[in-house]
Amino acid sequence: MRMPAKVYNELAASSELPPAGVILDPGNAEQYQTGDWRSERPVWNAEACIHCLRCWVYCPEGAVRVENGRVTGIDYDHCKGCGICAHECPPKTQAIVMTRETGRSA
Amino acid sequence: MAVKMTRMTLTGNQAVALAMKQINPDVVAAYPITPQTEVVQTFSEYVANGEVVTEFVTAESEHSAMSAAIGAAAAGARAMTATSSQGLALMWEMLYIASSYRLPIVMPVVNRALSGPINIHCDHSDAMGARDAGWIQLYSENPQEAYDNLIQAVRIAEDRRVLLPVMVCQDGFITSHGLENLEVLDDAVVREFLGEYRAAITLLDKDRPITMGPLALQDYYFEFKVQQAEAMRRAPEVIEEVGQAFGQLSSRQYGFFETYQLEDAEAAIVALGSTAGTARVAVDRLRRDGLKVGLLKLRVFRPFPATRLVEVLTGKAVVAVLDRAESLSGMGGPVFTEFRSAFYDLSSRPLFVNYIYGLGGRDIGLDEFHRVGSDLRKILAEGKPRQIISYLGARL
């Protein structure tokens, strides 16, 4: 069964939101920035970091950025602010500190 | 120009099943329940005889029947089911899925009281309980109206301005099992009236893959609800157009309500469904006794046609709203509260009284209307009601 082309085009062009939440672009979950949900923000201190990668291992969202075995920062588009990274960061190091989120994700 | 029609004697259930045969839906998924059983039983005979092309799904519950209808409609099929009472209650969460996915599913509802105590007879507590589920609701007085409403419901639901599911209600046993003469259209005429169904959105278009029913949280959910509300607000113009088109075809005109002896009336009685028949006779008798009373039979309860009701009822001294459901809110029945709210913004408005009646199939007859009549006389004389909400026909 095919949708009449006219209807499909109308739906796609009608507004920001096709009715009923129908998603017309396949695979667009990639564009959904779940970082919008965050109420606390992990702040990473590059100078204090010992690159043990515990935060990278424990992050449930894969939001710790790592290049060549070294932490390079946090992916705020997808970090939901759970604070596990800050909890797992060794107490003597404290390279990740949770702060109150004041605005939308960076 | 009205087309040729055939006179038949059918129960309300048979009339609805015949309309379903003429609609010839792609999918019907159903589970039998008294007093709806005869609808799906008769329709299953049409399926067995090869008189329809329908894929008939015998589901194991009403929850599954509605789920299957939703799946079929999402795939782009014209899908239907039918139910009553507990069956409608069991469908509850799926009713909201059907309307929020904007699937134009049409469902005959044969109104029956909700348990408990367990009861199989008519009242409107089942459909009234579903009034906020986002479905359009049409109420039918007799088998003819149940038949006519069902055919119109398909065209209303599928209109691109609407895309909402529709319940077509009739009174359990009173009309569902009552034999009446009615005029039915030819199959070909119904088919032409409805046209070939082209779903607005379908999951089965492999060239244009889509997702239906995704997650929508704080950031989008609200907007989808507003879209549903806007569709419901657009529905009246479509209901009106379809009613007129059907009128041209059959010479039976349909609007949001029907009035009887209302124009010069000082007092009005409002009723839904089969009670309107008794009410017409009662109006004649009360008028003979000198009470200037008229009837308004409401056909469309969702969307609630507030503006149009205000137009015809403004200037009446008192309106008695009959409710065949007790919403247990402490503020009267569901029809009553809607009527009162509709008139709130007017500086001069009628007095409103509410009669809750007929629960669990308790009969309503001329004696009950006689009591309403004497109350209305008192209210007209005294300028205000002694009691706003009453139970009509209950032992107290």
> What's the confidence (pLDDT) of residue A12?
60
Q: Do A20 and B198 touch (CB under 8 A)?
A: no
Q: Do B201 and A7 touch (CB under 8 A)?
A: yes
- Domain span at B302: 258-392
Residue A91 in this model has a pLDDT that exceeds 60: yes
Say if residue B290 is in the same domain as residue B153. no
Say if residue B16 is in the same domain as residue B103. yes
Testing the interface with A: which of B159, B220, B224 to mutate, by most A Cβ within 10 A?
B224
When CB atoms are compared, the residue of B208, B216, B219 closest to A8 is B208
- Residue B227 is classified by DSSP as H
Say if residue B192 is in the same domain as residue B295. no
Residue A4 in this model has a pLDDT that exceeds 80: no
> What's the confidence (pLDDT) of residue A106?
46
Say if residue B305 is in the same domain as residue B381. yes
Q: Do A3 and B201 touch (CB under 8 A)?
A: yes
Say if residue B227 is in the same domain as residue B337. no
What are the tokens at B106?
């049409």
Cα(B134)–Cα(B169) distance, integer angstroms: 15
| CATH (domain of B222) | 3.40.50.970
Q: Report the candidate in B334, B341, B340 with the shortest Cα–Cα distance to residue B318.
A: B340
| CATH (domain of B281) | 3.40.50.920
For chain B, which residues score pLDDT lower than 50? none
Q: How far away is chain B from the Cα of A83, in angstroms, using its nearest Cα?
A: 22
Say if residue B115 is in the same domain as residue B59. yes
Class of domain A32-106: alpha beta
Say if residue B293 is in the same domain as residue B206. no
Say if residue B241 is in the same domain as residue B328. no
When CB atoms are compared, the residue of B76, B209, B211 closest to A1 is B76
- Residue B4 is classified by DSSP as P
> What's the confidence (pLDDT) of residue B200?
80
Number of H helices, E strands in chain A: 3, 4
Say if residue B199 is in the same domain as residue B340. no
- Report chain B residues whose CB lies below 8 A from the CB of A21: 212-214, 216, 220, 224
Say if residue B113 is in the same domain as residue B197. yes
Residue with the bigger pLDDT between B262 and A102: it is B262
For residue B321, the tally of other CB atoms under 10 A from its CB is 26
Question: Last residue of some domain: B234, B250, B266?
Answer: B250
> What's the confidence (pLDDT) of residue B206?
85
Residue A15 in this model has a pLDDT that exceeds 80: no
Say if residue B106 is in the same domain as residue B159. yes
Contact residues for B95 (Cβ-Cβ < 8 A; gap 6+): B66, B88, B130, B133, B134, B135, B165
Say if residue B16 is in the same domain as residue B33. yes
Q: Which 198-217 residues of chain B touch chain A by CB within 8 A? A: 198-202, 204-205, 207-214, 216-217
Cα(B105)–Cα(B23) distance, integer angstroms: 12
Question: Last residue of some domain: B223, B250, B277?
Answer: B250
Question: Per-residue pLDDT tens for B204-232?
Answer: 988 888 999 988 888 889 999 999 999 99
Task: Name the band, by pLDDT with cuts 50, 70 and 90, for residue A30.
Answer: confident
Task: Tell me how many domains chain B contains.
Answer: 2
Domain ranges of chain A: 32-106
Question: Per-residue pLDDT tens for A31-86?
Answer: 888 898 899 999 999 999 999 999 999 999 999 999 999 999 999 999 999 999 99
Question: Last residue of some domain: B250, B270, B290?
Answer: B250
Looking at chain B, which residue has its C-alpha nearest residue A29?
B214
Instruction: Give the ipTM of the model, two decimals please.
Output: 0.78
Cα(B35)–Cα(A83) distance, integer angstroms: 57
Cα(B112)–Cα(B100) distance, integer angstroms: 25
- Residue B3 is classified by DSSP as P
Q: Do A17 and B224 touch (CB under 8 A)?
A: yes
